[in-house]
Structure 1
Amino acid sequence: MKLWLGTGLVEEDVAGVSPLDRGFTLGDGLFETLRVKGGRVLRLDAHLARLAAGARVLGLPLPAFDFAGALRATAQANTLAEGVLRLTLTRGTGPRGVLPPAHPAPTLVITAAPLAPPAPPARLSVAEGTRRNDRSPLARVKSLNYLDNILARQEAAGRGTDDAVLLNTRDRVAETSIANLFAVLGGELVTPPVSDGVLPGVMRAAVLAEGARERSITPAELATASEIFLTSALGLRSVRSLRGRELPGFSVAEHLRTRIDGA
């Protein structure tokens, strides 16, 4: 397997990042997960726009670099017709302490992996041990610090479910540990707004463009949904149950999947 490190492709078994890199020591960086279909990187412009927006939030200067070319080259080097790319950008090395160096030299890594088989409809629980901080600017950034998500996912596994719904500090639904969430409520397809602590997902934007509406959702409302599905860069995933309650159907997700999943 070949990966992109810095300015070129290298073999995975000889690649290395400094132990002083702030991505390793402090989680100071960003990442994007991108789907490859038919040898093409899907929604590339939207991913790069979100990367740039996140870099502005972190005050992380983006290098003058052809990210799109590096992503395509990594996919081609691994003959990746159907798969996943992950772009990781850190602030690079720095001295001890939290304050970033005045002139950072960011570290870029791009890895490739085959696409996993489609997952079955998900069983969801609601996380009780952690919340999405809707007041933090990091809620809308795909940063390297995923510890809240990890805690929520561990809690879900302990409950025998596939993922956990994260509530925000005002007891509203935000998203799950790894995906944006959509629900059919009263016949209307809705999703929580970014202001409720939601990552502005690339696939989420595609579903919104199909007519879904943003509005806050309470846990009590979500419990009455006739359908729930999750979105990520890798596609749409229907939800089979929430807190043990079986949902009646998957029709909206199936319709949208034919229109936008992999487009």
Structure 2
Amino acid sequence: MSVVIWAAGRLREQDEAIATGVDHGLTVGDGVFETCAVYDGRAFALTRHLRRLDRSATGLGLPSPDADEVRAAVDAVLAAAPGAGRLRITYTGGPGPLGSNRLPADEQRPTLIVLAGPATRAEASRAVRVPWVRNERSGVAGLKTISYAENVVALAEAYRQGADEAMLANTVGELCEGTGSNVLVERDGALLTPPLSSGCLAGITRELVLEWAADAGIEAREETLPYSALDDVLAGTAHLTLSGSIRNVSPVVALDGTDVKPGPLSLELQRVFQERAADQIDP
């Protein structure tokens, strides 16, 4: 299926110009975004995603997006895109100077673009370690910004090695996240995910995993982990699982080109998540 586009109050054709060349999102990456899974024509966990969109915008210094306008745009693209599997909401600083400085607040006109299109969810993932790191002390750490060049480079390397995700450490050697996923390490009867202080994104799926695992009696908690914890996955003494808006809960079956086994808690969490997601479209 094709991608359906909404911008500036209405649906647009795919070849229609929808942003100016001086949009700050294009010139300096000044913007934030959200990606939601779509099930049966409805965006999953939309309320949580919109809250995070607002947090990211505030953290970047942008005015809060109009939630009613965003929801109206979401309704419009999903109505026009039956069978869509993915929704993307992009919110930028709008027209601005060619440098990093913004226009005065009273002159800012943020840009909102909402897209709906196809998506394929993999039951399992294949990951590799890459040499680049997340900066947990960055001014945009934990914000879902459109400045994704680092992720593009890391994910391209993962694909070059036959994987679909790259595992990133932070600057102090802690396990952090993937390019578009949070990580869970299963060991000693528990699922462990790096704390937000590691520099990882506060993933919506991660948030739900911690809540729904507790409801199901599965021990899942935040814990600082060394990047070398991935060595334990290769040794078979631990297991690795990824979480994300399109992946949901996706156990890793290969790491650095070596086959590894999903853990029993990871598989049970995957089952629990799929059942809960089917029952609650906006938890």
Normalising by the smaller structure, the TM-score range is: over 0.9
Percent of counterpart pairs with the same letter? Answer: 34
Deviations 1:85-128 (A, max 9, x none): 11110000012221111131000111111222x32532222111
- Using the alignment, how far apart are the partners of 1:65 and 1:190 within structure 2? 33
**In the alignment, is the contact (CA less than 8 A) between 2:249 and 2:273 conserved in 1?**
no
Range with bigger deviation, 183-192 or 147-156? 147-156
| Per-residue deviation, 1:13 | 2.5
Task: Give ranges in structure 1 of 5+ residues lacking alignment.
Answer: none
Name the residue aligned to 1:260: 273
| Per-residue deviation, 1:49 | 0.5
Instruction: Evaluate the alpha carbon distance shift between residue 251 and residue 15 of structure 1 in structure 2; reply closer, same or farther with a 3 A threshold.
Output: farther
Name the residue aligned to 2:242: 230
Name the residue aligned to 1:213: 221
| Per-residue deviation, 1:40 | 1.6
**In the alignment, is the contact (CA less than 8 A) between 1:185 and 1:224 conserved in 2?**
no
TM-score calculated relative to the size of structure 2? 0.86
- Using the alignment, how far apart are the partners of 2:123 and 2:30 within structure 1? 34
- Using the alignment, how far apart are the partners of 2:23 and 2:208 within structure 1? 35
- Using the alignment, how far apart are the partners of 1:110 and 1:239 within structure 2? 31
Residues 1:166 and 2:168 aligned together: yes
Residues 1:71 and 2:74 aligned together: yes
> Which residue of the other structure, out of 92, 110, 129, is the alignment partner of 2:94?
92
Name the residue aligned to 2:112: 108
TM-score calculated relative to the size of structure 1? 0.92
Residues 1:239 and 2:279 aligned together: no
**In the alignment, is the contact (CA less than 8 A) between 2:252 and 2:261 conserved in 1?**
no
- The number of aligned residues is 260
Matched residue of 2:134: which SS? coil
Instruction: Evaluate the alpha carbon distance shift between residue 15 and residue 75 of structure 1 in structure 2; reply closer, same or farther with a 3 A threshold.
Output: farther
Deviations 1:47-102 (A, max 9, x none): 0010010011111002435112221221012224x511111100000122211111
1:35 aligned partner, one-letter code: A
**In the alignment, is the contact (CA less than 8 A) between 1:41 and 1:72 conserved in 2?**
no
Name the residue aligned to 2:43: 41
**In the alignment, is the contact (CA less than 8 A) between 1:223 and 1:242 conserved in 2?**
no
1:75 aligned partner, one-letter code: L
- Using the alignment, how far apart are the partners of 1:96 and 1:245 within structure 2? 46
